[in-house]
Amino acid sequence: MIYIDLDPSTGSGQARVPALGFGTWQLKGREARTAVADALDLGYRHIDTAQMYENESEVGQGLRDADVDRDALFLTTKVAMDNYEYRKLIASADDSLRKLKTEVVDLLLLHWPSDEVELEESLDALQEVQHAGKTRHIGVSNFTPSLLRRALEIAPSLVNNQVEYHPYLSQEKLLDVVRERGLFLTAYSPIARGTVLDEDAVQEIAEAHGKSPAQVVIRWHLQQDRVAAIPKAASAEHRRANFDVFDFELSDDEMDRIHGLAHDDGRMIDPEWGPDWER
Ligand SMILES: NC(=O)c1ccc[n+]([C@@H]2O[C@H](COP(=O)([O-])OP(=O)(O)OC[C@H]3O[C@@H](n4cnc5c(N)ncnc54)[C@H](OP(=O)(O)O)[C@@H]3O)[C@@H](O)[C@H]2O)c1
């Protein structure tokens, strides 16, 4: 495993993040439970969920089924936008802990920036949850570079911004802020939901290493400073393959070639409540 070290002053407990995690969006019910348990059996030690995914209970069951030492696991959940008011946010974090069957999560994020509730209010509540020992670290998701800078002025202990990131979508500007401030970026939809796997460049590099296109793209993420990736896989075969990325290395040229696939229309996740993305 490759780890990302966090500044110990920004939180408590485990101060290193396994750079490869397992995403659970769209996994529901028994499938979510089995997928999480199986991922942990395969060696994943970083699991990503959210209140909005409506699967925290099943993710919690999966964690129990696999019986992995809680301290060896990095567990992230995200507060839904409906819960951004101060008291609601704190109550919703308790609800997440109950569903996940744990006393503390490792990272609690604001899922999207909001126009409805002042950023100060939701960040104050997030910090309160951290002070109460219910999350070890705090962060945000889907924040643009300028929104992230603003959030850091209010809550300097933020450690993470989880955003869409894959070869089609550059996050260079955001990564500059993330690295400058010692945060880490979590790449969601890291294989562009499968769409990038047919690219010639990716296929040629995969062939050269005797790996699959998905393994190459995941490896591309992991070789970037302060980047974590959380591919989702309902299929057991995909889960296994996506974890088998620690026995090869991409050259600088190969990294650049994959970076070269980025283009202006690369964004895939752009809901109506999303921010005005800064290119
Ligand atoms: N913060 C946010 O707003 C936000 C937004 C989107 C996603 N996320 C997080 O990021 C995670 C990952 O993103 P995502 O689910 O959108 O996309 P993704 O991980 O880029 O792609 C998932 C898709 O790729 C397929 N796949 C996985 N491994 C493969 C392999 N080795 N070969 C071929 N196909 C493969 C999966 O198929 P099968 O499922 O059939 O195996 C699924 O269709 C989510 O689950 C969620 O935890 C967060």
- pLDDT, residue 8, reads 80
Active site residue 53: yes
Q: Is the pLDDT of residue 13 over 70?
A: no
Three-class secondary structure assignment of 159-192: EEEEEECECCECCHHHHHHHHHCCCEEEEECCCH
Ligand 1 atom closest to 191 (CA): 20
Please report the beta strands in 14-63, taking only residues with DSSP state E, as ranges in sequence order. 16-18, 22-23, 46-48
Q: Is the pLDDT of residue 246 over 80?
A: yes
Nearest-CA residue for atom 47 of ligand 1: 23
The counts of H helices and E strands in the chain are: 10, 10
Ligand 1 atom closest to 50 (CA): 47
- pLDDT, residue 269, reads 97
Torsion, CA 53, CA 185, CA 14, CA 105, rounded to 10: -20
CB under 6 Å to ligand 1: residues?
23-25, 48, 111, 141-142, 162, 188-194, 197, 214, 230-235, 238, 241-242, 269
Euclidean distance between CA atoms 86 and 188, whole angstroms: 27
Tell me the average pLDDT across 115-135. 98
- pLDDT, residue 12, reads 75
Tell me the average pLDDT across 162-178. 98
Q: At 197, list the tokens.
A: 């796997």
The structure's pTM equals 0.97
Q: At 193, list the tokens.
A: 């939901």
For residue 140, what is the DSSP state? E
Q: Look-up: residue for tokens 């070269």?
A: 260
Euclidean distance between CA atoms 129 and 195, whole angstroms: 38
In this predicted model, which residue has the larger pLDDT, 149 or 278? 149
Euclidean distance between CA atoms 244 and 193, whole angstroms: 18
Nearest-CA residue for atom 37 of ligand 1: 233
CA 232 to centroid of ligand 1, rounded, Å: 4
CA 155 to centroid of ligand 1, rounded, Å: 30
Euclidean distance between CA atoms 160 and 114, whole angstroms: 17
Q: What is the dihedral sign for C-alpha 72, 30, 53, 195? A: positive
Nearest-CA residue for atom 8 of ligand 1: 188
Binned at pLDDT 50, 70 and 90, residue 67 comes out as: confident
With a pLDDT cut of 70, the percent of the chain lying above it is 99
CA 233 to centroid of ligand 1, rounded, Å: 6
Euclidean distance between CA atoms 110 and 83, whole angstroms: 10
CA 250 to centroid of ligand 1, rounded, Å: 22
Q: Is the pLDDT of residue 268 over 80?
A: yes
CB neighbour burial string for 26-58, b if at least 16 within 10 angstroms, e if fewer = ebeeeebbbbbbbbbeeebbbbbbbbbbebbbb
Q: Is the pLDDT of residue 162 over 70?
A: yes
Q: Is the pLDDT of residue 279 over 80?
A: no
Tell me the average pLDDT across 183-210. 98
For residue 247, what is the DSSP state? S
Q: How many CB atoms lie within 10 A of CB 111?
A: 22
Average pLDDT, the chain: 97
Q: Is the pLDDT of residue 42 over 90?
A: yes
Binned at pLDDT 50, 70 and 90, residue 15 comes out as: confident
Q: Report pLDDT digits (tens) over 20-36.
A: 999 999 999 999 999 99
- pLDDT, residue 14, reads 64
Q: Is the pLDDT of residue 10 over 90?
A: no
Q: At 92, list the tokens.
A: 């919703």
Binned at pLDDT 50, 70 and 90, residue 275 comes out as: very high
SS3 label, residue 135: strand
Residues facing residue 4 across a β-bridge:
17
Euclidean distance between CA atoms 141 and 163, whole angstroms: 6
- Is the Cβ–Cβ distance between 205 and 217 less than 8 Å? no
- Percentages of the chain per state (helix, strand, coil), in multiples of 5: 45, 20, 35
Binned at pLDDT 50, 70 and 90, residue 253 comes out as: very high
